[in-house]
Amino acid sequence: MVNYNTFLHGYNLEVKADGKCSPMGSPPATLGQFPLRHPYRFYRFLCDLDDLVESVSDDLERIRIAAVLTRHFLTQATWITETCPVPDQDQRVAGKSLYGEPGYPFIIQVVAWLPQRSPVHNHANWSIVGYLGDEMAGCEHNSFWCRQDDGLKKGHAIIKKASQQILKPGDIIGFTPDAIHSIVSIPCEKGIDSKPTYTFNIFGETDFSQRYEFDPLNNTLKKF
């Protein structure tokens, strides 16, 4: 189901509050605290992420290091194939938790999407999304938005589309907590026998008081 050789190629991208999707910047020197081991077991990956959160407080630096670790992990984690859920036609999305422990500052999950669209939303956490699959797996068309107002008026938000990007298997994208995006999951270009869109997601600790769904037509927002 999932071809891990795609992670030997792919792009590392990042999105911040300005909504500009750009090539990910170079990781800070603290990346040297995390040797890229072979083999790179899941427990090592979890320990590295835990140490990363403990030692690096800047969210942008976190995602730049986490992206390097995630790509290194996914090039080796052949067992991920067996964890990919199968969405049904009614729900159109299925998720499976790979790691989540009370008191730990992140969760990891895999998600499978049939073609559909998401609302405009933020994550209110630092996060990494890796796109799994082979040439028959689906992709995601992401639109990235920038907030234009000062956030002082309750329930009111003016957002403007700033960039867009089609994300394919092998790509990894990092979001700062204030990044805003919307998603349309789409079949692969080959079409007929397209598989779902598969993602490997890492979400840092969420500030639910700042997690929103945005309505760009009516300039409103609500808790998400």
Predicted confidence band of residue 180 (pLDDT cuts 50, 70, 90): very high
Give me the residue spans of the domains in the chain: 4-223
Is pLDDT above 90 for 79? no
CATH number of 4-223: 2.60.120.10
How far is 217 from 117, CA to CA, in rounded Å?
A: 16
pLDDT of residue 173: 98
Coil, strand or helix at 49: helix
- Please give the model's pTM, rounded to 2 decimal places: 0.94
Q: What is the pLDDT of residues 51-70, one digit of tens each?
A: 999 999 999 999 999 999 99
Is pLDDT above 60 for 209? yes
Is pLDDT above 60 for 3? no
Coil, strand or helix at 40: coil
Phi-psi region of 19 (alpha: psi -120 to 50; beta: other; left: phi over 0): left
CA distances from 58 to 53, 54, 128, 163 (A): 9, 11, 15, 24
Is pLDDT above 80 for 175? yes
pLDDT of residue 5: 65
Question: Helices 59-74 & 42-55, crossing angle to 10 degrees?
Answer: 170
* Mean predicted lDDT score pLDDT of the chain: 93
